[in-house]
Amino acid sequence: MTWRVGTIVSVHDETRTARSITLDVPDWPGHLAGQHVDVRLTAPDGYSAARSYSIASAPSDIKRFEITVERLADGEVSPYLTQEVAVGDPLEVRGPIGGWFVWHPEQTEPIQLIAGGSGLVPLMAMMRARAAVHSMMPFRLLYSVREPDAILYADDLRALAAANDGTAITYAYTRVAPKDWARPPARVDAALIAQATWPASQSPTCYVCGPTPFVESIATLLTAAGNAPDRIRTERFGATGDVR
Amino acid sequence: MGIISRGFSGRRAASDVKLPPGQYLTKDFPVLSAGPTPRVPLETWEFTIADGKNVVQRWDWNAFRALPSETPTVDIHCVTRWSKLATTWEGVSLDTLFANVKTDASYVTVESYGDYTTNLPLKDLMGGQAWVAFRFDGKDLAPEHGGPARLLVPHLYFWKSAKWVHGVTLMRDDKPGFWESLGYNNYGDPWKEQRYWE
Amino acid sequence: MNPPTDDYLDGNAAAGELSTIFAFDITAAEGQCAACGSMKRFAEAHVYTQSPGFVARCAQCDAVLLRYVRTGERVMIEARGLSFLVFDAT
């Protein structure tokens, strides 16, 4: 898999700290929902840094896709991508990468998506993929997020939930909840898993994405709730998502 | 080389101090690790010097901390290109630890809790060049930086300063350690930029 | 009080680099740990990327499965910790 040079065709700030970047890549082979790309930046003296970012857009035939980048306070690459890049800039990417943390429209079992913060990105690609093919497959999303302002793709999520055959979305606020929210701010726990996710008896395939501690915690809760380990697919992000 | 990214320079700060070739100055202290942080209770911690399979010296934590210590201030250089200057430590010199050890071995393998090893010539541990360090920057050495104690041998790239050090084994034949066996230079002098196998 | 989780990612994070060596997707490959015998998808391996190279460890027992180093001129890989890897070749 080689590095390709794409061109930034649009940027859109999703929140105060997250930006979506749309790229045209001339010989892009297309992608599956859940896959990611590596992005590489190179300084004039040859120093380079690379990071992985999930593709947020649905698979399609056009040679264009979108990534969403969360700015980390002490990051090396994310401040550049969220604050410096401009439409028209080239960007080196490698991918699409990953064949396990992927949803295919041919899958017929119930799908449980569980996102921690910017772990929503690859799961959003799955929900957009489902919508693009007008799939009726049963999807649920449990989205753990610090506070309402941190919600990514807020409008799109509302639209997906409201659609007739929509995905059921449960928000779990961990720091600040909206006024009059029934559940006080708290991490996802066994009670919320029991209340908001597909019962294990339905044999869902679960996709869990977020920071490593979040993923470990959720995987443990899902297993305790009766889901078999091979029904739980995970993708860990880190503040240090370094690639070479 | 990749295409140049307009306006990107990475974390590096320009400096007018002389650094080894290819290094940049950092104010952080990055945590690099090849595996999970071992949790080593002080009640069970020990440091040993072995000659082949014979343990010739052993200290538990109390005995180790009763040894005379030094407070070196040193520059450290990581093979991943960051350098940190004038870092302050407290540790026991390897000269002190080897005071009663007689050997004709020329090499050591340094062993850590967990499965990490590194190798170097014995003479590079002697003569005021190396310590088993238990304090950094005025505080007890944190586990993610190698606490309770790590090797500190700053004249070589910092992967030689093995975290969570457990002991050294004297060797007659040099045996490449964890990174040396997979492409990293057997010696690792930053001033000669000995990062990789030649 | 939970002990701090160490700073590892998973096999997905190593897949881009490994794609320069393996023609087939490694994340879906099933591998057997030579130390404890557990069989898991490579995506589930604990990958330490904050390193001179990267190290993939068994999620069950933490033994090293695979080590990877890319220097200026070479890529080196050592996988004694994997008894085998099974790739889907379809």
State pLDDT tens for residues A86-141: 999 999 999 999 999 999 999 999 999 999 999 999 999 999 999 999 998 999 99
Question: How many angstroms separate the CA of residue A243 from the nearest CA in chain C?
Answer: 7
Asked, for residue C36, whether it belongs to a domain, the answer is: yes
The boundaries of the domain holding residue C31 are: 9-85
Mean of pLDDT values over A220-244: 83
Mean of pLDDT values over A143-148: 97
Question: Percent of chain A beyond pLDDT 90?
Answer: 87
Structural domains of chain A, ranges and CATH numbers in brackets:
3-97 (2.40.30.10), 111-237 (3.40.50.80)
pLDDT at A6: 97
Residue A201 has pLDDT above 60, yes or no: yes
Asked, for residue C19, whether it belongs to a domain, the answer is: yes
Residues 6+ apart with CB under 8 A from B32: B78, B80, C50, C51, C52
**Cis amide leading into B148 (omega within 30):** yes
Residue B15 has pLDDT above 50, yes or no: yes
Query: What CATH number has the domain bearing residue B119?
Result: 3.90.420.10
Asked, for residue B78, whether it belongs to a domain, the answer is: yes
Asked, for residue B39, whether it belongs to a domain, the answer is: no
A195 touches chain B (CB under 8 A): no
Q: What are phi and psi of A172, to 5 degrees?
A: -120, 110
pLDDT at B193: 95
- Provide the whole-model pTM: 0.93
Q: Measured between alpha carbons, how far is A178 from A180 in angstroms, rounded to an integer? A: 6
Strand partners, A36: A54, A97
Interface probe for B, chosen from C46, C55, C62 (most Cβ of B below 10 Å), is C55
Q: What angle do CA A33, A37, A42 make, to 5 degrees?
A: 165
Residues 6+ apart with CB under 8 A from A58: A33, A125, A128, A129, A131, A132
Residue in A138, A108, A142 with CA at minimum distance from that of residue A123:
A142
Sign of CA dihedral A168, A173, A176, A179: positive
> Is A89 close to B9, i.e. CB distance below 8 A?
no
Q: Which residues of B touch A92 (CB under 8 A)?
A: 2-3, 5
pLDDT at C44: 97
Q: Which residues of C touch B160 (CB under 8 A)?
A: none
Q: Which of B31, B159, B183 sits opposite C50 (nearest CB)?
A: B31
Q: A204 or B81, which is more confident?
A: A204
Q: List pLDDT tens digits, range B112-129.
A: 999 999 999 999 999 999
Q: What angle do CA C58, C63, C65 make, to 5 degrees?
A: 65
CB-based contact A135:A107 (threshold 8 Å) = no
Question: Percent of chain A beyond pLDDT 70?
Answer: 98
> Is B196 close to C55, i.e. CB distance below 8 A?
no
Q: Which residues of A touch B79 (CB under 8 A)?
A: none
Q: List pLDDT tens digits, range B138-190.
A: 999 999 999 999 999 999 999 999 999 999 999 999 999 999 999 999 999 99
Q: Which residues of C touch A75 (CB under 8 A)?
A: none
List C-alpha distances in Å: B12 to B82, B88, B137, B164, C43: 8, 22, 22, 28, 32
pLDDT at A242: 43
C16 touches chain B (CB under 8 A): no
pLDDT at C49: 86
Asked, for residue C20, whether it belongs to a domain, the answer is: yes
pLDDT at A239: 55
> Is B39 close to C6, i.e. CB distance below 8 A?
no
Q: Enumerate chain C positions whose Cβ falls within 8 A of a Cβ in A.
A: 5, 7-13, 15-17, 19-20, 25, 27-28, 41-44, 49-50, 54, 70, 88
Confidence band, pLDDT 50/70/90 cuts, at residue A164: confident
- CB neighbour class for A233 (10 Å; exposed up to 12, middle 13-18, buried from 19): buried
Q: Measured between alpha carbons, how far is A177 from B167 in angstroms, rounded to an integer? A: 52
pLDDT at B61: 98
**Stretch among A71-85, A218-232, B3-17, B47-61 having the lowest mean pLDDT:** B3-17
> Is B183 close to C64, i.e. CB distance below 8 A?
no
pLDDT at A75: 85
Interface probe for A, chosen from B1, B4, B8, B15 (most Cβ of A below 10 Å), is B8
Q: How many domains does chain B have?
A: 1
> Is B3 close to A5, i.e. CB distance below 8 A?
yes
Sites in chain C below the pLDDT cut of 50: 1-4
Q: Which chains lie within 8 Å of chain A at 3 or more CB pairs, if any?
A: B, C
Q: Whose structure tokens read 């541990």?
A: B125
The boundaries of the domain holding residue B137 are: 47-191
Asked, for residue B147, whether it belongs to a domain, the answer is: yes
Asked, for residue C4, whether it belongs to a domain, the answer is: no
> Is C7 close to A212, i.e. CB distance below 8 A?
yes
CA B58 to chain centre: 20
Angle, helices A120-132 vs A154-162, to 10°: value is 40
Asked, for residue C40, whether it belongs to a domain, the answer is: yes
Q: Measured between alpha carbons, how far is B47 from A183 in angstroms, rounded to an integer? A: 52
Confidence band, pLDDT 50/70/90 cuts, at residue B9: confident
Asked, for residue B87, whether it belongs to a domain, the answer is: yes
Asked, for residue B17, whether it belongs to a domain, the answer is: no
ipTM of the complex: 0.91
Interface probe for C, chosen from B178, B195, B198 (most Cβ of C below 10 Å), is B178
Q: Which two tokens stand for residue A134?
A: 């007008």
Residue A240 has pLDDT above 70, yes or no: no
> Is C76 close to B183, i.e. CB distance below 8 A?
yes
pLDDT at B13: 64
Q: How many domains does chain C have?
A: 1
CB-based contact C33:C58 (threshold 8 Å) = yes
**Residue in A closest to C44 by C-alpha:** A234
Asked, for residue B27, whether it belongs to a domain, the answer is: no
pLDDT at C5: 54
Asked, for residue C1, whether it belongs to a domain, the answer is: no
Residue B101 has pLDDT above 90, yes or no: yes
Residue A241 has pLDDT above 50, yes or no: no
Q: Which two tokens stand for residue C64?
A: 């090293």
Asked, for residue C68, whether it belongs to a domain, the answer is: yes
Q: Measured between alpha carbons, how far is C57 from B33 in angstroms, rounded to an integer? A: 12
Q: Which residues of A touch B6 (CB under 8 A)?
A: 84, 89
